[in-house]
Amino acid sequence: MADKKETADRLAAYSDAVFAVIVTIMVLELKAPERASFSDLWTLWPTAISYVVSYLFIAIIWINHHYLWRFVDVPSLGLIWVNFMHLFLVSLLPFATSWIAQTRLASAPVALYAALFVCIDIAYNIFEYQVLTRADATQISGTMRRSARRRSLIVLASFVIAMMLAFLVPFIAFGLICVALILHLRPDVRGR
């Protein structure tokens, strides 16, 4: 059994490493202004805000991912593949972040950014569902399971609405993404 738990721990460690690489790639995209004045930093506001939101999203994903992995004793092949799909989708975040920064939060890039959040959240919801349904009832109460599912579906719906709104009002859509992230700041599934 210890060998099987080691597999779950290795998968969690691998996921942690992927998250670290993604954050590193994002920070390498940050470019300093060419001139040496504080006023030149103001022109970088789209880069700063998109980086902060993406970094927050990755931090939230990692924290929730970390809390869920604690309940995995023996990962199924399906759970392993869902985890890899989730990590793949998260790995696209630096590209989307860079695009919305370069275009100053234009409609199409914000719509793609929101669509990516939708895809990442769908993969996360599948991952969460698989973990919660296999977790021991003594570890996670039914109330916690329902609360986690409800919150995940609300966030997913918010990302879908943001994706559609982005074509009309990209700044409001981006704001809705930020509000939706607040719902995931604290993991619902903490265990007993």
Cβ-based neighbour number of residue 180 at 10 Å = 21
- DSSP-derived letter for residue 74 is S
What tens digit of pLDDT does each residue of 154-179 get? 999 999 999 999 999 999 999 999 99
Share of the chain above pLDDT 70, in %: 94
Contact predicate 191/71, CB 8 Å: yes
Q: Which of 98-102, 127-131, 182-186 has the lowest mean pLDDT?
A: 182-186
Assess whether pLDDT exceeds 50 at residue 192: no
Q: Average of pLDDT values for 180-189? A: 80
What's the rounded Cα separation, in Å, for the pair 70 and 187?
12
What's the rounded Cα separation, in Å, for the pair 169 and 60?
25
Q: Average of pLDDT values for 147-153? A: 88
Q: Average of pLDDT values for 93-117? A: 96
What's the rounded Cα separation, in Å, for the pair 111 and 131?
30
How many residues are given for the chain?
Answer: 192
What's the rounded Cα separation, in Å, for the pair 101 and 58?
17
Quick one: pLDDT band at residue 97, thresholds 50, 70, 90? very high
CA-based diameter of the chain, in Å? 60
49 or 30, greater pLDDT:
49
pLDDT at 112: 98
Q: Average of pLDDT values for 97-122? A: 96
Contact predicate 48/100, CB 8 Å: no
pLDDT at 38: 84
Please tell me the pTM assigned to this model: 0.89
Q: Could you please report the per-residue DSSP string of 154-172?
A: HHHHHHHHHHHHTTT-HHH
What's the rounded Cα separation, in Å, for the pair 190 and 172?
32
What tens digit of pLDDT does each residue of 113-146 get? 999 999 999 999 999 999 988 887 677 778 888 8
Quick one: pLDDT band at residue 33, thresholds 50, 70, 90? confident
Assess whether pLDDT exceeds 60 at residue 27: yes
Query: Which of 60, 151, 156 is CA-nearest to residue 115?
Result: 156
